[in-house]
Structure 1
Amino acid sequence: MESFTEKTVKQEYIYKGKIIDLSIHDVVLPDGNPGKREIVSHPGAVAVLAVTEDEKIVLVNQYRKPLEKVIAEIPAGKLEKGEEPLECAKRELEEETGFLADKWTAISSFYTSPGFADEIIYLFLAEDLKPGQVHTDEDEFVECVKVTLGEALELMKNNIIHDAKTIIALQYLQLRNQMR
């Protein structure tokens, strides 16, 4: 695999933002030729598959400007500098849904778009839910809903659930239910 490595010889930041940074890398390709790579840097995020005692999945409806539409998603959010993924997951679940969880399970982590971004999402299962307090960010507007797995799959079929993290979480839940 070492033969596929690209060496960065120059890096120029084009944009440094609140959520992402964009840089251009001049690289030496595995065959020795020069190349350029546009890289989006992101601090990472968490996503929470929260399941109630009666097997309902907690989703949030949120307008996503890049898509110009509202989609239903599992609760998620960006890691703060130095924050552990589990602590972030606990914070985001309560902030967006008003739920706390007594039982947490790390499911997996995955890169969202490894062709141009380094964003990694840590996916957790939250169970044994109890009421907490909603306190979304000042620029965050969400509506919390609870749906069955069947209803969630129907939302996915109709492109209302239309993001990778939620689809991965639903597939995990389907597999878990099949193995019981």
Structure 2
Amino acid sequence: MTDFAPLGGRTVFDGRTFSVSVERFRHPDGEEVEREIVRRQDAVAVVAHDDEHVWLVRQPREAIGERALELPAGTLDVAGESPLDAARRELAEEIGKAAERWEAVLSYHASSGYTDELVHVYSATGLSDADADADPGERIEIVRRPLAELAGVIAGCRDAKTIIGLGWLMAERGA
């Protein structure tokens, strides 16, 4: 539900992975506001697990100055690709796995105060090895962690998609 009206805007930056626009809106009380909005492709994250382990990746995240432990994830950067197809592709590219069973867990806005990016989280089970080429330029280490360590992984994590996905998995397991 929208109770404010867009008045227009302009793109001030158009990059390879996102753009930034400055847009104006009018609220019901007549006040007009200006917002800087990051426009970005939607993304997927995959909670790949079996009865004993969850698969994660550790990769350099230059923006935060560290190698982050995360769920396999990526953007919907293939024309016409559905979120589920992107999740399947990312699982194969990042950890070399395919899944027999997929469940859409939830979708959330990454940071609704400034970006329109929507992240779709999937559960993937019935894992098997898959043939896939890794994405060039990615420096990914595959990390398999016991499900018994989920609480500790979450406590040491600062990545939202990973905290959300692993929190869902803990709740599903009744932990």
Q: Which category of TM-score, normalised to the shorter sequence, fits these structures?
A: over 0.9
Paired residue total: 174
Task: Check whether the contact 1:149–1:170 (CA below 8 A) recurs between aligned residues.
Answer: no
1:176 to 166, 169, 172: 172
Structure 2 stretches of 5 or more lacking a match? Answer: none
2:159 pairs with 1:157: no
Give the structure-1-normalised TM-score.
0.90
Which string of whole-angstrom CA distances, capped at 9 and with x for unpartnered residues, describes residues 6-62 of structure 1?
22212100111121110000221231122101111112011000003x420000001
Mapped partners of 1:114, 1:63: distance in 2: 25
Q: 1:162 to 1:133 in 2, by over 3 A?
A: farther
| Cα deviation, residue 134, structure 1 | 4.7
- Aligned residue identity for 1:84: S
Mapped partners of 1:138, 1:30: distance in 2: 49
Mapped partners of 1:177, 1:155: distance in 2: 15
Give the structure-2-normalised TM-score.
0.93
Q: Which runs of 4+ in 1 moved over 6 A?
A: none
- 3-state SS in 1 of match to 2:87: helix
Mapped partners of 2:8, 2:47: distance in 1: 40
| Cα deviation, residue 168, structure 1 | 0.9
Show the counterpart of 1:58: 55
Show the counterpart of 2:137: 139
Task: Check whether the contact 2:4–2:28 (CA below 8 A) recurs between aligned residues.
Answer: yes
Structure 1 stretches of 5 or more lacking a match? Answer: none
Which string of whole-angstrom CA distances, capped at 9 and with x for unpartnered residues, describes residues 41-93 of structure 1?
112011000003x4200000011111111111010000023210111000000
Show the counterpart of 2:65: 68
Task: Check whether the contact 1:43–1:79 (CA below 8 A) recurs between aligned residues.
Answer: yes
Mapped partners of 1:96, 1:73: distance in 2: 11
Mapped partners of 2:124, 2:52: distance in 1: 12
Show the counterpart of 2:111: 113
- 3-state SS in 2 of match to 1:155: helix
Mapped partners of 1:134, 1:98: distance in 2: 6
- 3-state SS in 2 of match to 1:172: helix
Task: Check whether the contact 1:56–1:149 (CA below 8 A) recurs between aligned residues.
Answer: yes
Task: Check whether the contact 2:154–2:167 (CA below 8 A) recurs between aligned residues.
Answer: no
- 3-state SS in 1 of match to 2:133: coil
Mapped partners of 1:131, 1:94: distance in 2: 8
| Cα deviation, residue 138, structure 1 | 1.6
- 3-state SS in 2 of match to 1:95: helix
- Aligned residue identity for 2:68: I
